[in-house]
């Protein structure tokens, strides 16, 4: 099945990026030019792989992301709610559950530390939005993270999802 094969290729690519993830001092310094101190602290509190991914999603948005500050913030912080307790095996189990069915999530939840991790992965969009709001992001940026926007912002949300999948 071609779509399943491309899924595996995509996940292998994500794994490689996760293992090799770095944020350069230049990239970090550039963030200080457009983030508030609270937003910068939120960024710094994310695992390095999620920071790298957020930067990659912002870059994948291209000019649309540069022009739309809320979209740029949503791209940067959309995974902030996963937190530092999520391990690689949790992420693998979550992805396999998306492919094979939620029975994988239920099985992973039975392992030590699995229940909390599966719940955090399931609910990370809401938690990311809450953290972003606490750091001063707008309600619109939070709504983009949640995926709960009105019809006028549907194209913006689609651009965010496409950039997320491409990164």
Residue 60 phi, psi (nearest 5) = -65, -20
For residue 95, pLDDT beyond 80: yes
Pair 120, 85: CB distance under 8 Å? yes
- The mean per-residue pLDDT over the stretch 90-100 comes to 91
Alpha carbon 101 to its chain centroid, in Å, reads 21
Per-residue pLDDT, 2: 54
pTM over 0.85: yes
Least confident window among 9-18, 30-39, 155-164: 9-18
Mean per-residue pLDDT for 110-127? 95
* Residues 132/77, Cβ–Cβ less than 8 Å: yes
118: tokens are: 């599966």
- Continuous H helices in 46-138: 48-61, 63-67, 69-77, 88-100, 103-109, 114-134
72-94 pLDDT, tens digit per residue, is 999 999 999 999 889 989 999 99
| Spatial separation of the C-alpha atoms in residues 83 and 70, rounded to whole Å | 21
């Amino acid at each position: 099945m071609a779509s399943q094969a491309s899924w595996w290729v995509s996940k292998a690519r994500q794994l490689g990026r996760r293992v090799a993830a770095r944020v350069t001092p230049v990239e970090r310094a550039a963030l200080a030019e457009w983030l508030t101190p609270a937003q910068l602290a939120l960024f710094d509190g994310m695992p390095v792989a999620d920071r790298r991914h957020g930067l990659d999603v912002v870059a994948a948005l291209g000019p649309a992301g540069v022009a739309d500050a809320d979209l740029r913030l949503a791209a940067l912080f959309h995974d902030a709610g996963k937190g530092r307790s999520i391990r690689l095996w949790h992420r693998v189990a979550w992805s396999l559950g998306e492919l094979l069915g939620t029975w994988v999530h239920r099985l992973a939840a039975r392992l030590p530390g699995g229940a909390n991790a599966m719940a955090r992965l399931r609910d990370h969009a809401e938690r990311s939005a809450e953290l972003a709001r606490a750091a001063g992001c707008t309600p619109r940026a939070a709504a983009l993270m949640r995926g709960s926007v009105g019809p006028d912002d549907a194209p913006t949300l689609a651009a965010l999802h496409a950039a997320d999948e491409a990164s």
